[in-house]
Amino acid sequence: MIITESEVDAALEQHAYSSARVGAVLWLRRDLQRTSIGLGAQPGPGGGGPMRASRIAAVATSAVVIGVLGIAPAFAEGGYDSSITAWLPGKDSSDWKDNNRDSVSTSVKFSGCSVDNGRFTYAGLQLKKARAGLPDPVVNRDNNYCDTSSFGDKAAGTYYFHYSNLNGQDTGVAFLSVRLVAVRY
């Protein structure tokens, strides 16, 4: 899996909690940029040697970045990774219980977004708070351009996100799929 620089940036924003971690991550990022520059500079002689070597290096570096960032959510009190398959607007995510034992910003990160009809620009998301026997209020909204929606540190409670629209349209004209949905709270 090749991760793009924008995905790395989003991950950095989301996970760079301590200065020590920032240092490690920045070092890895420089390494990734070097590798990316190498990739771009290679004309790619039909799947030949140098291109292939660079690509393998990019994959290896990406794996290291993911491995390091994978440690970061230990700072959040909780989270889960999931995926979305063929959702129409109106669907809700699984819910989660935030005990507010930390000051982590609740975030929903999308990677690998696609639709079966037309084109994906953004998914309209609403962070909602579950209340027994009462309507669930919308706490925050964000248009997710296949990146990270950060909603800030939340009060204790049970939350979920609601998929409200595709590219601003709430009518079901296309099914949305997202390869990785990473929720942290």
Comparison of 36 and 140: residue with beta carbon closer to Ca ion: 140
7: contact with Ca ion by CB under 5 A: no
98 binds Ca ion (CB under 5 A): yes
Amino acid in the structure at residue 81: D
The single-letter DSSP state of residue 177 is E
CB 139, min distance to Ca ion, A: 13
Distance, in Å, from the CA atom of 175 to the CA atom of 91, rounded to the nearest integer, reads 11
Taking the least distance from each CB to Ca ion, the nearer of 69 and 104 is 104
Identity of the residue, 107 or 144, whose beta carbon is nearer to Ca ion in the bound complex: 107
From the list 115, 120, 114, the residue with the least C-alpha distance to 168 is 120
How many CB atoms neighbour CB 62 within 10 A? 19
What is the total count of residues that contact Ca ion (CB under 5 A)? 5
Compute the half-sphere exposure of residue 161: CA atoms within 13 Å on the CB side of its CA: 27
45-84: contacts with Ca ion (CB under 5 A): 77
Q: Which residues bind Ca ion (CB under 5 A)?
A: 77, 98, 102, 104, 185
